[in-house]
Structure 1
Amino acid sequence: MQLRRRLGPSTDRGVVASAAALVVLTLAGCSSTPTIDDADLSGADRAACESLVDDLPDTLAGLDRREVEPADALGAAWGDPAYVLTCGVPEPDDYEPTAECNVIAGVGWYVADDQLSDLSRDATPIALSLQPYVEVSVPADYRTEGIDRALAELAPALTEHLGEGLSCL
């Protein structure tokens, strides 16, 4: 069987155009750039968050770091769906001094009870043992695999740049 190449116009333009349209639609369906809200922080807390963000790893739980909006946000993201770290978050409304924390690599992470009991939901652990507080939005996709690894990988940078926070039980 001999293959022929067409050098001129093709009658298969519709197929090529359809394929190109499919690629554009597929790319348009990709998740958007994570947005991180700015926090009202003291100068010292802002400086701590900025130095933390500069020192965060290029990969987290095997996922590549990606852009966030705004570019100078006090946070970072990895993967798609993205783990999203935000520095300078407030203490959670439902936190009580008797609340339990999960200590991973020396950092005490508080997770609301309703998030702990349902692994099909996104979770937002907050590092309350360090200040300013840091939260990591964890997509449900990573709840059964990766969450402990990700939080452990973040611990060295967190403990290097942040001060002592609340004690965990």
Structure 2
Amino acid sequence: MSFFRHRLLGLPVLAALITAASCSPSDDSATVTVPSPRPSVAELCRNLDRELPGKVDGLSREDPRPASALTAGWGSPAIILRCGVPRPVAMDDPEADGAEVNDVGWLLQKQGDGSFRFTTTLRLAYVEVTIPAGRTDHGVAPLVDLAPAVKKAIPKGIAD
């Protein structure tokens, strides 16, 4: 009798494993951490999401998981945009690298894996764009494509 009971107890576990395996995503879309800004910044980010282009650097929009109006992506490996991120500590460094692309200022941070992270400066929300190492050969071309949307949706100013 105890043998039968153990076999029955194992069935729900097996069923759960099969269900989890069948529900697991089979695509290779990126996953990101969704920022959690205060409500006024989140509203600016939702406005930005509506203005973002369908293509960046020739790559089609393929948003990362989990789905959020605060994140967007293009291509695979993806160029990732996150809106409403905290102010980067590197902005306190007077020696930090920066660039201005079509009237949008960006802090430039090269990452250890060869990717680049750009974060807007002098805007009421911080917008972060990460360009993976395999896509950095086009320089700031993605920022050229994103600048019109940022200018329209995120007003100039100093974010809190």
**Normalising by structure 1, what TM-score?**
0.70
The answer on whether the counterparts of 2:72 and 2:81 sit within 8 Å (CA) in structure 1 is yes
More helix by share: 2
Match of 1:52 in 2: 48
Match of 2:21 in 1: none
Runs of 4+ in 1 over 3 A off after TM superposition: none
Sequence identity (%) = 30
In structure 1, distance between residues paired with 2:93 and 2:130: 23
- In the alignment, which of 145, 152, 155 is matched to residue 153 of structure 1? 145
Q: How does 1:59-70 map to 2 (within 5 A)?
A: 59-70=55-66
- In the alignment, which of 86, 89, 95 is matched to residue 90 of structure 1? 86
The answer on whether the counterparts of 2:119 and 2:126 sit within 8 Å (CA) in structure 1 is yes
In structure 2, distance between residues paired with 1:67 and 1:142: 17
Match of 1:133 in 2: 126
Match of 2:102 in 1: 105
Who wins on radius of gyration, i.e. which is larger?
1
> 1:101 aligns to what SS in structure 2?
strand
The answer on whether the counterparts of 2:35 and 2:82 sit within 8 Å (CA) in structure 1 is no
Determine if the alignment matches structure 1 residue 79 to structure 2 residue 75: yes
Determine if the alignment matches structure 1 residue 144 to structure 2 residue 137: yes
Structure 1 residue runs of 5 or longer lacking an equivalent are 1-27
Alpha-carbon shift at residue 83 of structure 1 (Å): 0.2
Alpha-carbon shift at residue 65 of structure 1 (Å): 0.4
Alpha-carbon shift at residue 165 of structure 1 (Å): 3.9
In structure 2, distance between residues paired with 1:56 and 1:44: 19
The answer on whether the counterparts of 1:35 and 1:70 sit within 8 Å (CA) in structure 2 is yes
Q: 1:64-110 CA deviation, whole Å, 9 max, x = no partner?
A: 00132122241110011100000001111222262442001111110
Q: Relative to structure 1, is the Cα distance of residues 73 and 161 closer, same or farther in structure 2, using a 3 angstrom cutoff?
A: closer
In structure 2, distance between residues paired with 1:100 and 1:129: 15
Letter in 2 for 1:122: S
* Alignment coverage as a number of residue pairs: 132
Q: Relative to structure 1, is the Cα distance of residues 151 and 79 closer, same or farther in structure 2, using a 3 angstrom cutoff?
A: same
> 1:48 aligns to what SS in structure 2?
helix
**Normalising by structure 2, what TM-score?**
0.73
Match of 1:122 in 2: 115
